[in-house]
Chains A and B, each alone.
Chain A
């Protein structure tokens, strides 16, 4: 029983990191129709930058914010200079975002080396707390709470603010939104920056539990795609529910069927594609 509870919490906390990644991936896809392969790099670079900042300053909160903001700026530059000109041309988009994925991957290995690194936990969250019959790391519980908080904030941004309404309108019909005077191209940059910010946030926050290592960019990117496919494109709710599902599948797969770990993620994805290609919360 304890085993199942602990593994469930582990799965959900990893799922929250995947949610941070997939929320941006899904929004970018929903609004701009871009398959952003560089998203994995945002996660990886966020993790490394957070670590480097932490070694300099010793402040966890500052490192999280500084790394995420820096990556948001990188996102803006890529969107403005390289992706803007290829609106709705998926082949050049794939080439550009894949090119940056390679460049950043190599850059990270060059700067930070090939060994996995772990970010220290903030002091307050370093211990474990008792949950009934067992102890559980408080940092992982914090990640779960933080994920819920981000979900609520994003939901409020999307449903309760003027900018959110403009984003929703542009997702539904970009041309009409433009005709109504909505500055869609500014929204593109904004959403891309927010997506990059969230991916980097996932990278830094995940640092203490999953670490930062070469290849993490490709790994989380693919899991992020599975989350988006399972949850549905352009849907925040889908990214959250999909993230938790994939986090749980990944965790239980690794613990229970180590040989077929990846299969436990991809088989349900194929099933969803077969019966509900638009995803759990996607629209037709």
Chain B
């Protein structure tokens, strides 16, 4: 269970100030950063949203998915294909992409949610490979290995293009902010508390009259929609979609971001994502052995930071009831 944080008035003011300062900083960034670093922040925001969507599953629902990139990629391909082949505007392509992600998650969730634990990990992984296989193999539709090139940056209207980096940054910031706000609303709603209950004990929640499977299914589809939003933003950012969007390594990477940040906190996975994106860019500038470095990071997180950054900070503050480990 989450320990409701009891704040003294001054602490409340401090955290309100911190949030206001954070928002002001994010709004001012285009004036402060060079194009390169602004692009880096765009990536951080996108992966923060992606990681938060997975946190809804892992941290709140207790469903550790190893195939979350499937929805990221399906949405990216849908948005890319609609824009490239049909010339659809962002107003059509983006909602359609989210629907595609939700439908994929409905099918995969139907199959995977009969299982739990390690078996759930394996099945979500295998199912995400179905999506990868289609993206990789069906060359006439998806371009196969070459991917979809030239995905245009969205335009909100005939004279309102988001092609320049500053307006695109604000577009991504808005998308991530909306996603984060809705996710925060979900986890603090009765639905969110029911999910936490299911994470702790499915049988008890079932005995209390909750339709456990329906709750898990709903969470699974909701998480996929936000992953899809992140995938679309990433496609617009790269102007490119490839099978890499749905590969296992990406699913594992977002899992790492969630655990590194601290599952079940939303804000933690967002910071975990930002940290991994930053490390990836810094380290690959110095060495070609990025894979080896990230491999060591995976193991180090499991060994030394199983509750993540946020969990570590909470333990240091010695709160009376630490959060139980997410299994």
Contacts and interface: CB of A to CB of B under 8 A. Distances in A.
Interface of A: 29, 33-35, 82, 86, 88-96, 98-103, 105-107, 110, 218, 222, 225-226, 228-229, 233, 258-263, 265-267, 269-270, 273-274, 277
B30 interface: no
Given A88-B327, A102-B295, A266 B130 contact: yes
Interface in B105-159: 110-112, 114-115, 117-119, 121-123, 125-127, 129-130, 132-134, 136-140
A222 B129 contact: yes
B66 interface: yes
Interface stretch (B15-23, B93-101, B286-294): B286-294
A226 B325 CA distance: 30
B256 interface: yes
Contacts of B121: 35, 90, 94
Contacts, number: 140
Given A218-B248, A277-B115, A99 B327 contact: no
B298 A266 contact: no
Contacts of B112: 273
B2 interface: no
B126 A91 contact: no
A41 B176 CA distance: 37
Interface residues of B, number: 50
A98 B138 contact: no
Nearest to B300: A99
Contacts of A226: 126
B326 interface: yes
A29 B118 contact: yes
B132 to A, nearest CB: 8
B64 interface: yes
Interface in B280-320: 289, 291-292, 294-299, 301-303, 306
A229 B123 contact: yes
Contacts of A269: 126, 130
A282 B64 CA distance: 22
A88 B64 CA distance: 13
B141 to A, nearest CB: 9
Given A88-B327, A91-B259, A270-B111, A229 B122 contact: yes
B261 to A, nearest CB: 13
B255 interface: yes
A262 B295 contact: no
A267 B297 CA distance: 35
